[in-house]
Amino acid sequence: MMAMSDRYGFAHGAGGPGLVGFAEATHAVVSYRPHVLPALDRALAAQPGLAAAHALHGLLHILPARPELLPVAAAAQAKAHAAGAATADEAALLRTLDLSVAGRQRAAADALDLQLARNPTNLLLVKLANMLRFLSGDLAGLVGSVVRVLPAWTPGTAG
């Protein structure tokens, strides 16, 4: 099966109707819009096996740094792993969720940076790495992460 990239540069193992909702969720995450969870719900209703959507759902419950949300993140983690990762982008997102659930936000951001070295215009991974580094207080890492990917971006890059 051939990988498909959404409009924001995230490579998915399969196409399908869930990718529209996933792209809407990406837009909501990067623009701090409140409709990210409904967009993910639409993506998963259309395509229940969309590993990236499950992983993003889990990460969105880690980022507020509220311990009572950890069970929701862990449930999403289990669903993401059951769906499986078919691309390096999906695998990086699942690895990030695993590390984040374990409380290792800097290591989670490092996992995203490793994938961004291969796919530097993946908008969702750039934003999540930034958010995790901010959450962990790694301001130097936050700046460094952006500086490393910036040369790959052009005015025509989505996002």
Instruction: Give residue limits of the domains in the chain.
Output: 4-152
- Within a 13 Å sphere around the CA of 132, how many CA atoms are in the beta-carbon half? 30
pLDDT at 45 over 90: yes
pLDDT at 2 over 70: no
Work out the pLDDT band at 14, boundaries 50, 70, 90: confident
Work out the pLDDT band at 159, boundaries 50, 70, 90: confident
What mean pLDDT comes out for the span 139-152?
Answer: 94
pLDDT at 1 over 60: no
Return the closest-CA partner of residue 51 out of 99, 20, 92, 108. 92
118, containing H or E segment: helix 105-118
Alpha carbon distance, N-terminus to C-terminus of the chain: 27
In 3-state terms, what secondary structure has residue 4? strand
Instruction: Find all residues with CB under 8 Å of 36, minimum gap 6, and list them.
Output: 25, 28, 29, 60
Alpha-carbon distance of 52 to 64, in angstroms, equals 19
